Amino acid sequence: MQRRKFGKLDFDVSLLGFGCMRLPTVAEPDPDSPVGKIDYAKAVEMVRYAVDHGVDYIDTAYSYHDEKSEVFLGLALQDGYRERVKLATKLPMWKVTCREDCDRFLAEQLTRLQTDHVDMYLLHSLGKDFWRTVKECNVLEFLDQAKADGRIKYAGFSFHDDLSLFKEIVDAYDWDFCQIQFNYMDEHYQAGVEGLRYAAEKGLAVVIMEPLRGGKLAKGLPAQVQSLWEGRGGSAAHWAFRWVCNFPEVTVVLSGMGTMDEVKENIATMSEAAPNSLTEEELALFKQAQAFFLERTKVKCTDCRYCLPCPQGVAIPEVFAIWNNAVIYDRPDEGRWHYRNLLEKNKAADQCAACGQCESVCPQNLAIIELLQEAHAALV
């Protein structure tokens, strides 16, 4: 297992981190099970196998698996496993309304995890709204206090918004680490490669989430992309991981693994994925894959969010992202499912009143009104 130094801190961690958001589940859970739908026997075997084979970074959150992922880890890391890993979990920012909430959630998490401290504590999913909450509820003071009294060792945040906000947040506090979405299709999305390098230069360890774009870069790929990796000794997942690991600024790559085979394969991949180890020829293959996917992109929206807030509440970048993903990865049902969620929240394209405010500020000069109509027709 490759190991990388944790930013400015004086220890290293395994390159592969175990993400506990997609553990194996059972169809009909025992109503008395403390871990809900998680398939305890399979999942505990996978986590312990990973630790026994060099993985020592484990990531979970208050909300994963209907709030059972932390409970699962509290049990799975018994028998000495807790002491062998750095355990990361996250403050559910969408539930925080005051400073006291932070203490309350952390106390609950320590109980669930059956531990007296969390090694890596993150503010979950920062974007503009939750960053406001951080300031209004003095959450940074809470982090200082929790570090000082030993409830948490290191403080970080996970991020889903644009690059300028990412830089603002990086600069606003003495963070130990951050967690960003990064894969060969998201090189310039959200924090992207510029954010990765910005954070690393400031001494933050950078933990990667969604390295396979939630699995879309691993399974069910169009033949034109799948064929790029054939004959090269490794699956599409292997090569997608290798792209991420090639960046020396990347510290940990989280993988949400659902089977033991995936655990074994990803351990093998991360054992050889040294920084800057891809050849020019291999890097060119990723450019081909990117070009193929980009050609299928319906809307060249960069998610800069200048179009927001929409007076009618239309979640414009989300509508376009759902449409793009449905077409690029050929997953129409998944697209319709996500779009139904927006419809239920009155944030879908059917709310558009064609006022044109968004079009007047879109730096890409997109014909947003017309594109929203097309997206709606394709997704309902």
Ligand X SMILES: NC(=O)c1ccc[n+]([C@@H]2O[C@H](COP(=O)([O-])OP(=O)(O)OC[C@H]3O[C@@H](n4cnc5c(N)ncnc54)[C@H](OP(=O)(O)O)[C@@H]3O)[C@@H](O)[C@H]2O)c1
Residue ranges binding ligand X (CB under 6 A):
19-22, 59, 124-125, 158, 160, 179, 209-215, 218-219, 235, 237, 254-259, 262, 265-266
3-state secondary structure at position 141? helix
Q: How many CB atoms lie within 10 A of CB 255?
A: 29
β-pair type (152-159, 86-91): unpaired
Nearer to ligand X, 252 or 342 (CB): 252
Question: Considering the complex, what minimum distance in angstroms separates the CB of residue 239 from ligand X?
Answer: 11
Minimum gap (Å) between residue 260 Cβ and ligand X: 11
The whole-angstrom separation of Cα 234 and Cα 329 is: 21
Q: Min. distance of Cβ 50 from ligand X in angstroms?
A: 12
> Nearest CA to 256 among 215, 206, 205?
215
Tell me if 180 sits within 8 A of 190, measured CB to CB. yes
Q: How near is the Cβ of 14 to ligand X at its closest, in Å?
A: 14
Choice between 169 and 254, CB closer to ligand X = 254
The count of other CB atoms within 10 Å of the CB of residue 333 is: 8
**CA 92, CA 79: separation in Å to the nearest integer?**
28
Q: Which is nearer to ligand X, 24 or 373 (CB)?
A: 24
Report how far residue 235's alpha carbon sits from residue 239's, in angstroms, rounded to the nearest whole number: 6
Report in angstroms how near the CB of residue 254 gets to ligand X at its nearest: 4
Between residues 214 and 357, which has the closer beta carbon with respect to ligand X?
214
Tokens linked to 218: 């691993």
| Residue whose CB is less far from ligand X, 74 or 211 | 211
Shortest reach from residue 17's CB to ligand X, in Å: 8
Number of C-beta neighbours around residue 50 at 10 A: 26
Shortest distance in whole angstroms from residue 209 CB to ligand X: 3
Q: Which is nearer to ligand X, 215 or 275 (CB)?
A: 215
State the Cα–Cα distance between residues 120 and 177, nearest whole angstrom: 8
Q: Which is nearer to ligand X, 161 or 249 (CB)?
A: 161
The minimum distance between CB 220 and ligand X, in angstroms, equals 10
Minimum CB–partner distance for residue 29 and ligand X (Å): 18
Q: Measured on CA atoms in the order 326, 161, 193, 22, is the torsion positive or negative?
A: negative
Please identify, using beta-carbon distances, which residue of 71 and 368 lies nearer to ligand X. 71
Residues belonging to the chain: 380
Q: Answer yes or no: are the C-beta atoms of 347 and 318 closer than 8 Å.
A: yes
- Residues ≥6 apart with Cβ < 8 Å to 310: 316, 351, 352, 357, 358
Q: Which of 292, 251, 333, 320 is nearest to 86 (CA)?
A: 251
CA 22 to chain CA centroid, Å, is 12
User: For ligand X, which is the closer residue by CB, 213 or 242?
Assistant: 213
β-pair type (12-14, 3-5): antiparallel
